[in-house]
Amino acid sequence: MQRDQDRHKLFTRRVAMLAGGKFILLSGLAARMYYLQVIESEKYRTLAEENRINIKLLPPPRGRIVDRSGVPLAVNRQNYQVVLVSEQAGDPEETLDRLGQIIEIGESDRRRVLREIRRKRSFVPVTVRENLKWEEVARIEVNAPDLPGVSIEEGQTRFYPFGESTAHILGYVAAVSQEELTGDPLLELPGFRIGKSGIEKIHDLALRGAGGNSQVEVNAYGRVIRELSRNEGQPGQELALTIDMELQRMVVDRLADEGASAVVMDVHTGEVLAMASTPGYEPNAFNKGLDAKQWRTLVSNPKAPLINKSIAGQYAPGSTFKMVVALAALEKGVISPSTTFYCPGSLKLGNARFHCWKRGGHGRVDLDMGIYQSCDVYFYEVAKRTGIEAITAMAHRLGLGHKLDLDLPGERTGLMPTREWKLATIGIPWQKGETLIAGIGQGYVLTTPLQLAVMTARLANGKYAVTPHLTRDLVSAKKTEKRGAPEFETMGISSNHLRLVRDAMIATVNYKRGTAYRARIEEEGLEMAGKTGTAQVRRISKAERDRGVIKNEDLPWEQRDHALFVGYAPMHKPRFAAAVVVEHGGGGSKVAAPIVRDILLKVQKLERDKGLTNISASETPAVEEG
């Protein structure tokens, strides 16, 4: 009996303990449910929404680039691309194998995709191929159930309608490299392109715009049910250039496949109307991606198609530099317009003899004849009396030997030497003979075609240190940013001295004894003024001179002289300046002068037919006279 009572008490305690435990558990569960459903309800509602709603970043349309008349130079085209998300694909290599049976995937593309998958976060899409044909898109969509993580995205790709003709001005866009990632999520989007060179690079942020987003509802399997909202973001701004495309194409065609460059500009505003460097390259190929063979072809070409020679090509200016020397000498007072020197065909200095291009010499030569006949001996004498420091100082005032801050990357400075420069750079004192060589634009003197065009524009406008620019205005949905009227500093050069030099340049082209007479413009009112230049790239030995100097056409291409010409038009009321350099082209009068003639004739006719500048013909100021 006692044992039964003890057993009953034990059972009662156990029941009580069990009931108490259950109560505690139920209380804890109730408290946890209250905590999750009431206190943390907002948090879990948000998480649930995030699982149900996906937010997708949308790339903005890149801004167009147009010429001064609104002709499109860089536009966007529809682009279908196939992308792969590694976290959804499971085994990316197996998925690529399956995809490769449906569309062609090159081995280099495969390696790139796998490399990007390892480098990027697993949820970031990686572009497998772009610019798909519609048939390829259809095949991928039909096989979508067997291609986990693979999807088709519709975007835009950059297209340059004029290809090589504008390549060195516009540059190109290409995929973002690892070094260019800044934390901007736009840069991590598959297929997103940024400016890599030219105007595309300089104005990349303005052209790029701001990204938008799309909110889509998805089911438990990640399949899109519907789009809830969409914000397109802010498109890139439209950019208008100073270039006239009709003139640009003519200049490129005129240079043909030579290794050459040309710059045409307004002498009053500094607007660059055309800038060509040949041979060029196909910028659309960079957007799609070059293969190894295409790249090797470009970099191995001796005519350097990837270099914008107009701003990065550095050449001895040859006789086109003689106006600089003349102005420096006139300003220093070591010569007057009537000062003459006798040219017997050479000048001796110490043990060295410096030759004129005309073997028999020019006889008695004054300033005017020294320029229009391009007498080297005359300018040897002038340079010797002027000195390298004064010559270099004048060159700087005319835009030579330093960057002009054109709105393009890659501009080089050229070189205007001084005694201090040579001693610091080479460690050898300056020699008198080097001043003589500099006096005819050779030796250490180096210029770019852009600098030569600016020099010519400054000589032509008669007063102002005009500087070049390519950007006219930026246009967005909200506002238009236009350049104001240009304000340039005065050069501080005597207007009378400038008139003397311009008169000699007019004679160079329009006087029968001028070196460029055969390249003159004969249409009344459109005549040009200019100066020829021929820059040697090899030294001519005494033995060769005794035997007879080898003609350019008989030399290997890389040993031939560079041909140069600078000019402006109309000759009495300057409006446009042009400079042309033809690498290893031979004589400036024979090769470069006819090109500038054709360019200046074309630009004047274009201005007459449709107007090219902000200054009407009636408002164009004549050059100052002394």
586 Ramachandran zone, left/alpha/beta (phi>0; psi -120 to 50): left
> Is beta strand 72-84 parallel, antiparallel or unpaired with respect to 238-241?
unpaired
Q: How far apart are CA 84 and CA 77, in angstroms?
A: 22
Note whether 237 and 209 are within 8 A (CB): yes
**SS3 label, residue 49:** helix
Which DSSP letter does residue 559 get?
G
Cα distances from 613 to residues 271, 527, 575, 620, in angstroms, run 8, 19, 10, 10
Which DSSP letter does residue 535 get?
E
**SS3 label, residue 619:** helix
Question: How is residue 442 written in tokens?
Answer: 């050779």
Radius of gyration of the chain (CA): 36
Question: Does 319 participate in catalysis according to the annotation?
Answer: yes
Which long-range contacts link 186-192 to residues 24+ away (Cβ below 8 Å)? 186/57, 186/59, 186/211, 188/120, 188/124, 189/57, 189/59, 189/125, 190/81, 190/83, 190/124, 190/125, 190/126, 190/127, 190/153, 191/79, 191/81, 191/83, 191/127, 191/130, 191/153, 191/155, 191/157, 192/59
In the chain, the N- to C-terminal Cα span, in Å, equals 143
Note whether 33 and 39 are within 8 A (CB): no
CA dihedral 282, 288, 291, 295 (to 10 degrees): 30
For the chain, the farthest-separated pair of C-alpha atoms sits apart, in whole angstroms, at 154
Contacts of 59 (CB under 8 A, 6+ apart): 155, 156, 186, 189, 192, 211, 233
Q: Which of 165, 261, 310, 319 is catalytic?
A: 319
- B/e letters for 470-493, b = 16+ CB within 10 Å, e = fewer, are bbbebbeeeeeeebeeeeeeebeb
CA dihedral 415, 406, 591, 67 (to 10 degrees): 170
Going by C-alpha positions, the residue among 498, 532, 534 that lies closest to residue 513 is: 532
Contacts of 601 (CB under 8 A, 6+ apart): 521, 523, 526, 528, 569
Q: How far apart are CA 548 and CA 537, in angstroms?
A: 18
Going by C-alpha positions, the residue among 349, 343, 344, 314 that lies closest to residue 535 is: 314
By residue count, the chain amounts to 626
Catalogue the active-site residues.
319
